[in-house]
Chain A
Amino acid sequence: MAEALLSVQGLRKHYGGLAVTNDVSLEVLPGEIHALIGPNGAGKTTLIHQITGTVAPDAGRVVFAGADVTRFSLPRRVHAGLARSFQITSIIAGFSVLENVALAAQGKSGSSFRFFRAAAGEEALNEAARNALAEVGLADRAAIIAGALSHGEKRALEIAIALATQPRLLLLDEPLAGAGPEETEKLITLLRRLKSRYAILLVEHDMQAVFALADRISVLAEGRIIASGSTAEIRASAEVRAAYLGEEEVPC
């Protein structure tokens, strides 16, 4: 087995008496899509925050590309190659589509303490940005203000921004949230294409999409990983059904 690119080991996070993350371990291998699913309130968001560096865990480690990044800030993890998209679209609405992505490319291209040259005129950044936009099918929307994009286009822009940071792993937090059926179809095609080049940790509610894309699935419920395995194994798991269908399904 190849060495894991991302390895989460024994992560714990308590809020008061509530164990939101309870001894979670999971791995993402290079080139695979590992999907993380779980009912609402399972602790997915808190787990993502700990992996990306916006919430510090109480215990456990996050190892990325062989380095312990548990104490790294969000920007430092991005530099290490861990990019994320947001569940709720997070773009810079007042920037053009191109500038949103060029900003991300700028982070990977030398110092940003440069003061004299207009950033908009840096062809290397614009070129990198255009490539990322072409990847997600937004090439012809580069010049417009990002706030004017449709919802589905904004979801695609999020992914282009993540790609422009030249990541090794993409952490996609519900990339399909709020997208219509047609947009969903496009995004799934896009993710399938990205899979060959990036490891992806996919958090998603759309089960059809998850089963279509994932190589491996982990199921989070009440802060614990209750099942982890191939799509077939997860489909067959009684424990997973119980977690999704609720207490009343548990036999008396």
Chain B
Amino acid sequence: MPRLRLDVVLTLLVLAALALAPLLGFGANHYLTLFARIMILAAAAVSLSFLVGGAGLASLGHAAAMGVGAYAVAILDAHRLTDITIVLPVAIAAAALFSLLTGAIAIRTEGVNFIMITLAFGQMAFFTASSLAAYGGDDGYTLYDRTGIFGSRLMENRLFFHYLCLGFLIFCWGICAMLLASRFGRVLRAARENPLRAQAVGFAPYPYRLLAYVIAGTLAGLAGVLFANATEFVAPAYMSWQRSGELIFMVILGGLGRLSGAILGAVLFVLLETWLPSLTTHWKMIFGPLLILAVLFMRGGLIGFLGARRG
């Protein structure tokens, strides 16, 4: 096996920093809110990286699966069902089913068509959410309660929630890495690089890709559950194609070829998105070109950049 890679070391450092941050004077609420956003979006980005970089399925509707998880929390909340014993199975089932149904169709297509059809499904989810008048419609829905854990209100403990998000991020990273290394992942990687070759050794890519799509969607749905709890609010914007685009951007910014890239990309993206508005109200004028420059001059993302500098 190759030596411990720089991107993995860097990612482990980031995770360690996040683990220690509350103990090192970054325990104020506004920091924890920022960290939660970073960790949850990073987890969603990792699941997307598994899909794009691993299986070669560039979904532009990944936020929809995340939104389905978030809306599962909101809709159950409106019916005063807030315990994890109900929320979690429902959210998982909803996100998996949504991914299964949309994926079953989308994966029949390839390349640009796949991107467009996932975008279309994402927008369908977005407009469906906007039309849910009982659950806030366009305006979104404010939760009565965070999700309870077997009757306790642990989720409201900011520190607990911080480590829960961190744990979930590590879980996503670990499970995606494990899947990519497995027999299943080997077939996915082979089919991404050379689908005809995969078929010529006996693997029809479709069922493998569909399962990968469902797994990634389910992980995104779980991220959505956390996101709803972090903001105590759910809105159609969670499902919008802009959010899907941001997730793709985090993946590309970090480096498409490695799962750790998604984590680094998400950290950088959210930090910039948070820091730049403090400089000027026209911060998007800086943010946009910065992202374009990053893509132009950092081939292979942050990881590629670091690797090139080093090598």
Q: With the chains together, A183 CA to B211 CA distance in Å?
A: 42
Does any Cβ of B come within 8 Å of A161's Cβ? yes
Does any Cβ of A come within 8 Å of B4's Cβ? no
Q: Is the CB of A99 within 8 A of B200?
A: no
Q: With the chains together, A119 CA to B200 CA distance in Å?
A: 19
Q: With the chains together, A93 CA to B107 CA distance in Å?
A: 24
Residues of chain A from 78 to 109 with CB closer than 8 A to chain B in the complex: 78-79, 83-84, 86, 90-95, 99, 102-104, 106-108
Of A83, A91, A118, most buried by chain B (CB within 10 Å of CB) is A118
Q: With the chains together, A236 CA to B200 CA distance in Å?
A: 37
Q: Is the CB of A92 within 8 A of B197?
A: yes
Q: Is the CB of A78 within 8 A of B200?
A: yes
Chain A nearest CB: distance from B237 CB in Å? Answer: 34
Cβ-defined partner of B182 (8 Å) among A52, A75, A118? A118
Q: A-B contact count, CB below 8 Å?
A: 90
Does any Cβ of A come within 8 Å of B93's Cβ? no
Contacts of B201 in A (CB 8 A): 78, 103-104, 107, 161, 164-165
Residues of chain B from 143 to 195 with CB closer than 8 A to chain A in the complex: 178-179, 181-187, 189-190, 193-194
Chain A nearest CB: distance from B94 CB in Å? Answer: 22
Does any Cβ of A come within 8 Å of B196's Cβ? yes
Cβ-defined partner of A114 (8 Å) among B182, B189, B190, B202? B182
Q: Is the CB of A92 within 8 A of B193?
A: yes
Q: Is the CB of B197 within 8 A of A112?
A: no
Contacts of B179 in A (CB 8 A): 115
Q: Is the CB of A74 within 8 A of B208?
A: no
Q: Is the CB of A115 within 8 A of B202?
A: no
Does any Cβ of A come within 8 Å of B204's Cβ? yes
Contacts of A161 in B (CB 8 A): 197, 201
Does any Cβ of B come within 8 Å of A15's Cβ? no
Q: With the chains together, A64 CA to B29 CA distance in Å?
A: 69
Q: With the chains together, A117 CA to B181 CA distance in Å?
A: 8
Does any Cβ of B come within 8 Å of A120's Cβ? yes
Chain B nearest CB: distance from A49 CB in Å? Answer: 11
Chain A nearest CB: distance from B203 CB in Å? Answer: 6
Chain A nearest CB: distance from B177 CB in Å? Answer: 10
Does any Cβ of A come within 8 Å of B199's Cβ? yes
Q: Is the CB of B196 within 8 A of A106?
A: no
Q: Is the CB of A73 within 8 A of B186?
A: no
Closest to A78 in B: B202
Contacts of B211 in A (CB 8 A): 113
Q: Is the CB of B200 within 8 A of A112?
A: no
Closest to B204 in A: A75
Q: Is the CB of B184 within 8 A of A91?
A: no
Residues of chain B from 269 to 293 with CB closer than 8 A to chain A in the complex: none
Q: With the chains together, A95 CA to B183 CA distance in Å?
A: 14
Q: With the chains together, A75 CA to B182 CA distance in Å?
A: 20
Closest to B194 in A: A92
Chain A nearest CB: distance from B255 CB in Å? Answer: 15
Q: With contacts A91-B197, A95-B193 known, is A114 near B203, CB below 8 A?
A: no
Q: With contacts A103-B190, A115-B178 known, is A90 near B196, CB below 8 A?
A: yes
Contacts of A74 in B (CB 8 A): 199-200
Closest to B184 in A: A115
Q: With the chains together, A52 CA to B196 CA distance in Å?
A: 12
Contacts of B183 in A (CB 8 A): 106, 111-115, 117, 119, 122
Q: Is the CB of A116 within 8 A of B203?
A: no
Chain B nearest CB: distance from A48 CB in Å? Answer: 12
Q: Is the CB of A75 within 8 A of B184?
A: no
Q: With the chains together, A33 CA to B198 CA distance in Å?
A: 26
Contacts of A78 in B (CB 8 A): 199-202
Q: With contacts A92-B190, A108-B202 known, is A119 near B182, CB below 8 A?
A: yes
Q: Is the CB of B178 within 8 A of A116?
A: yes
Q: Is the CB of B196 within 8 A of A118?
A: no
Cβ-defined partner of A117 (8 Å) among B182, B199, B200? B182
Contacts of A99 in B (CB 8 A): 186
Q: Give 7 new A-B contacts, CB below 8 A, not counting A75-B199, A92-B189.
A: A106-B187, A112-B183, A113-B183, A114-B182, A115-B182, A118-B178, A118-B182
5 cross-chain pairs, A with B, having the tightest CB-CB distances, nearest first = A107-B202, A78-B202, A104-B201, A118-B181, A114-B183
**Subset of 24 A-B contacts with CB under 8 Å:** A74-B200, A78-B201, A79-B202, A83-B200, A84-B200, A86-B200, A90-B194, A92-B190, A92-B193, A93-B193, A95-B193, A104-B202, A106-B186, A107-B201, A108-B202, A112-B208, A113-B183, A113-B184, A115-B178, A118-B181, A118-B182, A120-B181, A161-B201, A165-B202
**Chain B interface residues toward A at CB < 8 A:** 178-179, 181-187, 189-190, 193-194, 196-204, 208, 211
**Chain A interface residues toward B at CB < 8 A:** 52, 73-75, 78-79, 83-84, 86, 90-95, 99, 102-104, 106-108, 111-120, 122, 161, 164-165
